[in-house]
Amino acid sequence: MANESTIQYGKGLDIGTVNLVAAEQNEKGEVVLRLKRNVFMDVPMDVPTKNMLTKLNVPYVVQNKRMYVLGDHAFELANVLNKPTRRPMKDGLISPKEADALGVMKLLISSILGEPRTKGEICYYSVPGDPIDSDMSVIYHKDLFDAVLKQLGYTPHHIVEGHAIVYAELAEEDFSGIGISCGGGMFNICVAYKSMPALFFSTSRGGDWIDNNVATVLGIKPAKASFIKEKGVDLMKPKTREEDAISIYYRNLINYTLTNIKERFVAAENMPSFPDPIPIVFSGGTSMAGNFIELVRAVFKEMEFPIAVKELRLASDPLNATAKGALTAALLEGAQTQS
């Protein structure tokens, strides 16, 4: 049996529009990750449907007299039945159009976080920075997930998503630089100096924005655009009309993001004076397209950035970086509490 005294308590949770990722450390000091697609389907609560799901080996849950299929199983079942899935999140925040969103999110989060390993175990979860190009409020979103995690037995703390990337990827640079999380609903940016966030914000453009624009110009459904994108696109050498459109909107989105960072460096007060050139690290599912970082470098060369940049690089584990950064914050909090 594992010696519990060797376990560092605390968990990290990435609450993303497309994926949910939980991170914890086991007794060997290894990071254990659990990922689930952030989608669901409601299905009829009758005997034929239950029999069909059992035959297909698809697990389901019943809550408030309704039956749901969650996560990757919902995504796969939707393809089998040619039906759309539903998303509890939209544009990086809890969806205002989904009445079932909060209940489903609690089920999804519980399935990957599990039960606290000690009473009131600390859980750091990701939240967007305040968006600069919309009037969406993050306050309601934070309060909801504080309540969900408390109901699950955790002590919740939030961390701005871009700041989590700094924790996950910039240890060798003394946690100084720019972390960018490229999500489905938003891009999140944090400028940090020695782990302290000096500037953070989000934009309401992400992978979904690319899908919707590609769908509009090509006359296809966003789901098809997303499928083509996820199947694998070389952004520097697109081969088809669809891939060319995806590459064009990627370039536009990268330019939009870097331009906003540049403008905020110029306009913001009390920005740190970095003594050395800093890195900019990109992460998130939208950053995983082929040659993404090469396209970033090509766009960056065309602009005059206000500070010296050492390198532009992709996170070592783009899809899980936010959860790993949140876990780092939780472990640091736990160590400070115990000392």
Asked whether residue 117 is domain-assigned, the answer is yes
66 and 140 inside one domain: no
Query: What tokens does 259 get?
Result: 């331009």
Query: What tokens does 210 get?
Result: 């690319």
Q: Is the pLDDT of residue 1 over 50?
A: no
pLDDT in tens, 163-197: 999 999 999 999 999 999 999 888 999 999 999 99
Q: Report how far apart, in Å, the C-alpha atoms of 137 and of each of 91, 104, 134, 140 are.
A: 11, 21, 9, 7
pLDDT classification of 118: cutoffs 50, 70, 90: very high
236 and 324 inside one domain: yes
223 and 156 inside one domain: yes
Say which range, 39-48, 108-117, 266-275, has the weakest mean pLDDT. Answer: 266-275
201 and 312 inside one domain: yes
Q: What is the distance between the alpha carbons of residues 60 and 47, in angstroms, rounded to a whole number?
A: 13
Q: Report how far apart, in Å, the C-alpha atoms of 328 and of each of 26, 60, 170, 213 are.
A: 13, 33, 12, 36
Asked whether residue 43 is domain-assigned, the answer is yes
Q: Is the pLDDT of residue 107 over 70?
A: yes
Give the domain-ending residue among 77, 100, 128.
77
Q: Is the pLDDT of residue 280 over 80?
A: yes
Residues contacting 121, CB < 8 A, separation 6+: 9, 10, 11, 153, 154, 155
283 and 221 inside one domain: yes
Asked whether residue 335 is domain-assigned, the answer is yes
61 and 189 inside one domain: no
Q: What is the pLDDT of residue 338?
A: 57
Q: Which domain holds residue 10?
A: 1-37+87-339
Q: Is the pLDDT of residue 35 over 50?
A: yes
pLDDT classification of 32: cutoffs 50, 70, 90: very high
Q: What is the CATH number of the domain that holds 212?
A: 3.30.420.40
Q: What is the distance between the alpha carbons of residues 72 and 34, in angstroms, rounded to a whole number?
A: 12
Q: What is the pLDDT of residue 69?
A: 87
Burial class (CB in 10 A: 0-12, 13-18, 19+), 124: buried
Q: Is the pLDDT of residue 268 over 80?
A: no
283 and 203 inside one domain: yes
Q: What is the pLDDT of residue 56?
A: 80
- Please count the structural domains in the chain: 2
Burial class (CB in 10 A: 0-12, 13-18, 19+), 271: middle
184 and 299 inside one domain: yes
Phi, psi of 69 (to 5 degrees): -110, 135
Contact between 299 and 268 under an 8 Å Cβ cutoff? The reply is no
157 and 51 inside one domain: no
User: Which H or E run contains 233?
Assistant: none
Contact between 210 and 286 under an 8 Å Cβ cutoff? The reply is yes
Q: What is the distance between the alpha carbons of residues 19 and 71, in angstroms, rounded to a whole number?
A: 9
pLDDT classification of 41: cutoffs 50, 70, 90: confident
Q: What is the pLDDT of residue 336?
A: 64
Asked whether residue 150 is domain-assigned, the answer is yes
Asked whether residue 170 is domain-assigned, the answer is yes
47 and 32 inside one domain: no
198 and 63 inside one domain: no
- Model pTM score: 0.88
pLDDT in tens, 240-261: 999 999 999 999 999 999 999 9
User: Which H or E run contains 168?
Assistant: helix 161-169
* Sign of the C-alpha dihedral computed for residues 269, 272, 273 and 278 taken in this order: negative
Asked whether residue 82 is domain-assigned, the answer is no
Asked whether residue 52 is domain-assigned, the answer is yes
230 and 319 inside one domain: yes
Contact between 70 and 88 under an 8 Å Cβ cutoff? The reply is no
